[in-house]
Chains A and B, each alone.
Chain A
């Protein structure tokens, strides 16, 4: 059974064992606005927690997406090449960015669960 975590930088990571899928939260896509391009990391790339893993470009500006935890990229979401707007329409499903193999699952302990993240973003809007 998979478990969903969030970072303070608004990435989500859905973990199933040592396999995980990473994307950006609905809050993040709303803040960014219309997304026109996503640069996904190449397969096999080793990422340390906090590394710049992907770039998301809205009409207005480019933003970095960071690796929530350390690991190796297994695959990028090639559907985003043709349809970057999937990040707007389905940020927490079809608009995922990349799959990774975790190297240190203990790092997950520092992340927020869905309820904690909901409280966190409420605080940002205050």
Chain B
């Protein structure tokens, strides 16, 4: 409704968002589109049925280079980076000495360097963290003149076939390739944050609008804002940093143990390894779970999760309405032994207890390209 204040940063697509009628809101210091005139529900469905185009240029794009940069980064993340093949991407986490999560990120091994995508709200602290703990001969460069788009949905690859020169339809999930869109060189990663097949597209900021317009001109593509991005990732069971994962939650508690490399489990060598290794051998005291609610009222972040006797057993970290399922859903942390799928729980919302059931994540099956 109102225009966000002038202290907010703009992405390269700010003018295009306004032209498209976006409702802009402050997010991590940027004026970002929360929705376009179609609305969150329609944008969500369009992404699940065809392809949505998201501006995610607020996220931090960082290049690390130098001798043995892969081994150097392993000192800060529990993922196996040394054995990552060139052109391949891994989801990983910066951890702290207590095993808590400082940020989650995507790491691409390119021919001569590593390409990182970190959360917008964390990028300043991530850079400080990297500068502090990587040795001085590793170069750390924040790409301030590079924009980032995401094209997500079952039609995303078909759109790329029509729009991108040099696109290989068999590009593997979690890999990067170079294409040209409207004559602009773009690095495309087959990855995303919706549970659908799709691509994250990195290109120079001054040509981002050209690329976005070329994609939006395709019959299957519609612009999608951060509102639907949030409901899509919640259905896909994906974590939002600062909510579902924080410096107080470990990868094991967050049900992200799969992101800890096999060799890294044995060897350790990342911050908080002792605590995380111990949690891996048994059960963490609590775990991130999915909850499907019985009624229509959503349970939001902060709502208490209770057992049948009304005892508090956890708290909601993300909650909302699932446009795909037509019911409210939530993620949250639940204490052992209550985090088994099938367990009935209550959610405390406005002095009422809403019925819910713990179910396996994701809520909506992932449809990544395999």
Q: A interface vs B, CB < 8 Å?
A: 27, 30-31, 33-34, 36-37, 39, 55, 57-62, 81, 84, 124-125
Instruction: Return chain A residues, CB-CB under 8 Å to B35.
Output: 33
Interchain CB contact under 8 A, A59 and B2:
no
Can you list 30 A-B pairs with a CB-CB distance of less than 8 A? A30-B1, A33-B35, A33-B39, A34-B40, A36-B296, A36-B298, A36-B321, A37-B296, A37-B298, A37-B321, A37-B328, A39-B297, A39-B350, A55-B350, A58-B40, A59-B40, A59-B41, A59-B44, A59-B227, A59-B231, A59-B321, A59-B323, A60-B34, A60-B40, A60-B227, A61-B300, A81-B296, A84-B296, A124-B2, A125-B1
Residues of chain A with a CB closer than 8 A to B350's CB: 39, 55
In the docked arrangement, what's the CA distance between A33 and B39, Å? 6
Interface residues of B (CB under 8 A from A): 1-2, 34-35, 39-41, 44, 227, 230-231, 296-298, 300, 320-321, 323, 328, 350
Q: Are A57 and B298 in contact (CB under 8 A)?
A: yes
Query: How far apart sit A110 and B44, CA to CA, in the bound complex (Å)?
Result: 41
Is the pair A37, B300 in contact by a Cβ cutoff of 8 Å? no
Closest CB in chain B relative to A52 CB, distance in Å: 9
CB distance from A26 to the nearest CB of B (A): 12
Q: Is the CB of A33 within 8 A of B1?
A: no
Q: Give every chain A residue within 8 A of B34 (Cβ-Cβ).
A: 60
Which residue on A lies nearest to B230, using beta carbons? A60
Measured CB to CB, the closest approach of chain B to A28, in angstroms, equals 10
Task: Determine the main DSSP class of A at the interface with B.
Answer: mixed
A37 CA / B320 CA spacing, docked (Å) = 11
Contacts between the two chains (Cβ within 8 Å), count: 48
- Min C-beta distance of A31 to chain B, whole Å: 5
Contact of A62 with B2 in the complex, beta carbons under 8 Å: no
Interface contact A62-B300, CB-CB below 8 Å:
yes
A contact residues around B39 at 8 Å (CB): 33-34
- Please tell me if the beta carbons of B227 and A124 are within 8 angstroms of each other in the complex: no
Question: Which residues of chain A have C-beta atoms less than 8 A from B323's C-beta?
Answer: 59
The residue that A37 contacts in the complex, of B1, B230, B297, with Cβ under 8 A, is: B297
Q: A31 CA to B230 CA in the complex, in Å?
A: 18
Expressed in whole angstroms, the Cα–Cα distance for A58 and B296 within the complex equals: 12
| CA A124 to CA B2, docked complex, whole Å | 7
- In the bound complex, CA of A84 to CA of B296 (Å): 10
Chain B residue with Cβ nearest A81: B296
Question: For residue B300, which residues in chain A have a CB less than 8 angstroms away from its CB?
Answer: 61-62
Interface contact A124-B320, CB-CB below 8 Å: no
Closest to B227 in A: A60
Cα(A122)–Cα(B2), bound, Å: 10
Q: Is the CB of A57 within 8 A of B297?
A: yes
Residues from chain B with Cβ under 8 Å of A81 in the complex: 296
Residue of A nearest to B1 (CB): A31
Shortest C-beta distance, A126 to chain B (Å), equals 8
Kindly state the separation between the CA atoms of A27 and B40 in the bound complex, as whole angstroms. Answer: 17
- Which of A30, A34, A124 lies at the interface centre, i.e. has the most chain B CB atoms within 10 A of its CB? A34
Docked CA distance A31–B23 (Å)? 9
What 6 pairs across the A-B complex have the smallest Cβ distances?
Answer: A36-B321, A34-B41, A59-B40, A37-B296, A37-B297, A31-B1
Contact of A124 among B1, B230, B297, B298 (CB under 8 A): B1
Contacts of B1 in A (CB 8 A): 27, 30-31, 124-125
Q: How far is the CA of A16 from the CA of B230 in the complex (A)?
A: 43
Closest to B37 in A: A30
Q: Whole-angstrom distance from the CB of A21 to the nearest CB of chain B? A: 22
Known contacts A33-B227, A57-B321, A84-B296, then 10 further A-B pairs from the complex at CB < 8 Å, ordered by chain A residue? A31-B1, A33-B39, A33-B40, A34-B40, A37-B321, A57-B297, A59-B323, A60-B320, A62-B298, A124-B2
A72 to B321, CA, bound (A): 31
Chain B residues whose C-beta falls within 8 Å of the C-beta of A57 in the assembled complex: 297-298, 321
